[in-house]
Structure 1
Amino acid sequence: MYHLPTCSTCKSAIKALKHQGYELDLHDIKAIPPAADELIELIAMSGLPISKWFNVSGEVYREMGLKDKLSAMTDEEKIKLLSSNGMLIKRPIVSDGSKVTIGFREQDFGPVWYRS
C-alpha cells in the first residue's frame, strides 16, 4: 500500500483494512513514489485512465497548473510525471498484485477489499 503517513484518508483506509484482517506492506508515497514501470502495471490493473491517478485536489497539482496541461501530454509523459513526485498521485494505492484501488471511497473500496 502506498500512502502518506500524515493523510487522514490514508489512515482511514489502513484502519479499515486492518479491521478486515489484512497485513499491510506500507510505502511512503512522498518519500519513495512508485517507479514508472510499477505505475504502468498498477494503472493497467486498475482499468482506470491515467488522468484518474492524479491527485487533482493536491497543492503540487495546482501549483504546476496541470489541469490545463494534462490533455496535451502523452501517457508516457504523465507516467514520468507521476513517478517523479508522489504528491501528484491520488492516494492511497492499495494492491495485492492482482487488483488495485486508488483513493478511499467506500463505494469503490469496500466491494474490492472488504471480506464478507
Structure 2
Amino acid sequence: MGKLIFLGFENLKLFNYSSCSTCRRAIKWLKNNDITFELIDLLKSPPSKEMLISASELYGDRKYLINTSGFIYRSIGSDAVKKMSDNEFFEQLFIEPRLIKRPFLYKSNKCFLVGFKEEKWAEKLL
C-alpha cells in the first residue's frame, strides 16, 4: 500500500456513525490534535461509490472497507459478500452504509484512512 500524504487539513471529511465508539475515539483524537474536519453522518450522507472505489483501489482490496464485526455483515454472510461483483459490493456499501468500516476519513481520491488506529493516524496526519 502506498504512503498517504495529507497536505493541509481544510478538506478532511470524517464519515461517522454516532453509536460507534471507534468513531468517538477518532473524533476526540482529531480534536485533541487540533485537526479541523467536517463531521458527516454516515447514515444520512454516506461516501459516494466513487469515494469507496478510490479507497478500495488505494488499499489494494475492497475487504479493507467492510465492517466485518457489524450485524448487517453477519446477516448477509461473508460468503455472500465474497461472491459479490465489485459493482454489487460497492452498491451494497452505498445502500447500507453501516457495512462501511468506520470511521472513514476522506481528504481526496488518493487520501483515505479507514478504521481508527491512533499510531497510523498520527503517522499520516501529524
Q: Which of 22, 27, 30 is residue 40 of structure 2 equivalent to?
A: 27
Equivalent residue of 1:108, what SS?
helix
RMSD in angstroms over aligned alpha carbons?
1.5
CA change 1:48–1:106 in 2 (3 A) is farther
Measured after TM superposition, the shift of residue 109 of structure 1 is 2.3
Identity %: 30
Contact 1:13 1:92 in 2 (8 A): yes
TM-score by length of 2: 0.80
Alpha-carbon distance in structure 1 between the residues aligned to 2:74 and 2:92? 14
Partner of 1:15: 28
Contact 2:46 2:97 in 1 (8 A): yes
Partner of 2:70: 58
Partner of 1:2: 15
Structure 2 portions without partners, runs of 5+: 1-13
Amino acid at match of 1:92: P
Partner of 1:76: 87
Q: Which of 103, 110, 116 is residue 92 of structure 1 equivalent to?
A: 103
TM-score by length of 1: 0.86
Measured after TM superposition, the shift of residue 56 of structure 1 is 0.2
Measured after TM superposition, the shift of residue 54 of structure 1 is 0.7
More strand by share: 2
Measured after TM superposition, the shift of residue 14 of structure 1 is 0.7
Q: Deviations over 1:59-111 (max 9, x none)?
A: 1111122x011222211111111111110000001122241110012243221
CA change 1:15–1:48 in 2 (3 A) is farther
Measured after TM superposition, the shift of residue 6 of structure 1 is 1.9
Aligned residue pairs total 112
Equivalent residue of 2:123, what SS?
helix
Equivalent residue of 1:82, what SS?
helix
Alpha-carbon distance in structure 1 between the residues aligned to 2:113 and 2:59? 10
